[in-house]
C-alpha cells in the first residue's frame, strides 16, 4: 500500500467516525481533521474534485467551530426544591444509561438532604448538579452530568469558575467527589480536582 493511500484511508475513517458522534462540537472538530487529511490526499494524487470538496467541508467546519467558540451562551442555575419533581425524575431516567457510563457510583436513593440544580444554557436544561454537605465547609458532589450535545466544558467552566460564588456563599470551600471512570477522571483533572493519594478514586478541589 502506498503512503498516499494510507493518508486517504485515514481521512475517510475520521470523516466516518465524526458522523457517528452525538456531540456536535466534537463532530465538527474530528470532521475538520478528516476533511483536511482527505483534501491533502486529493492534492497528492491529483484528484482535484476530492481536494475541492473536502477543502470546502473543512472551511465549513472552521466557520461553525469559530461560531461555537465565539457564541456567548446565557447560563443559569435552577434549584430543584422537590426531589420527587416529575421533570427531574424524567431527566434522570431518560439519561440513565449515559449517567451510569460516567458516574456509576451515583444512586438517587442516597440523595436525601442533598442540594440539586439544573444547569440551564440559553434556558435549555443541559446538565444537573447534585451535592450534599458533609463536613463543615465541604460538599460531596454526588452527580455532575451534562447531556451529550452540550458536553464541551462550557457548563463546567460556568459551574466551577464563573458561578462558583454560589457555593462559596453557602460556606463551601472544598469539593470532594468519587470517580472510577477514566474519561470522567480526566474531566475532573481539567477542572483542577486533585486525586487523593490515600483514598481510592477520591478527588478534591479547593474553591
Q: Which of 53, 70, 87 is the endpoint of a domain?
A: 70
Q: Which of 70, 101, 123 is the endpoint of a domain?
A: 70
- Mean of per-residue pLDDT scores for the chain: 91
Residue with cell 442540594: 115
Q: How confident is the model at residue 1 (pLDDT cuts 50, 70, 90)?
A: low
Query: What does the alpha-carbon distance between residue 93 and residue 8 come to, in Å, rounded to a whole number?
Result: 42
Residue 124 pairs in a beta bridge with: 121
Percentage of the chain beyond pLDDT 90 is 64
Regarding whether 185 and 95 lie in a shared domain, the answer is: yes
Give 116-174 pLDDT, tens digit per residue: 999 999 999 999 999 999 888 999 999 999 998 888 888 999 999 888 888 898 899 99
Would you state the cell numbers that stand for residue 134, as one nine-digit string? Answer: 458533609
Q: How confident is the model at residue 50 (pLDDT cuts 50, 70, 90)?
A: very high
Residue 106, pLDDT above cutoff 70: yes
What's the predicted TM-score (pTM) here? 0.73
Domain residues for 88? Answer: 75-206
Torsion of CA 159, 83, 80, 170, to 10 degrees: -60
Q: Which of 20, 54, 70 is the endpoint of a domain?
A: 70
CATH number, domain of 142, equals 3.40.630.30
Structurally, the chain folds into a number of domains equal to 2
Give 5-26 pLDDT, tens digit per residue: 889 889 999 999 998 887 788 8
Amino acid at each position: 500500500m502506498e503512503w498516499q493511500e494510507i493518508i486517504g484511508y485515514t481521512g475517510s475513517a475520521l470523516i466516518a467516525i465524526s458522523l457517528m458522534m452525538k456531540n456536535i462540537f466534537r463532530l465538527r472538530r474530528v470532521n475538520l481533521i478528516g476533511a483536511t487529511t482527505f483534501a491533502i490526499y486529493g492534492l497528492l494524487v491529483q484528484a482535484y474534485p476530492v481536494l475541492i470538496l473536502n477543502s470546502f467541508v473543512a472551511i465549513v467546519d472552521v466557520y461553525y467551530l469559530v461560531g461555537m467558540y465565539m457564541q456567548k451562551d446565557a447560563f443559569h442555575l435552577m434549584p430543584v426544591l422537590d426531589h420527587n419533581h416529575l421533570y427531574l425524575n424524567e431527566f434522570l431516567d431518560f439519561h440513565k444509561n449515559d449517567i451510569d457510563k460516567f458516574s456509576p457510583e451515583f444512586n438517587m436513593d442516597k440523595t436525601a438532604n442533598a442540594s440539586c440544580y439544573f444547569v440551564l444554557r440559553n434556558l435549555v436544561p443541559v446538565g444537573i448538579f447534585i451535592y450534599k454537605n458533609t463536613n463543615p465547609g465541604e460538599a460531596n458532589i454526588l452527580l455532575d452530568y451534562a447531556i451529550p450535545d452540550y458536553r464541551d466544558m462550557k457548563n463546567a467552566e460556568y459551574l466551577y469558575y464563573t458561578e462558583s460564588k454560589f457555593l462559596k456563599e453557602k460556606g463551601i470551600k472544598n469539593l470532594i467527589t468519587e470517580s472510577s471512570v477514566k474519561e470522567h477522571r480526566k474531566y475532573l483533572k481539567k477542572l483542577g480536582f486533585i486525586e487523593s493519594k490515600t483514598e481510592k478514586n477520591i478527588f478534591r478541589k479547593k474553591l
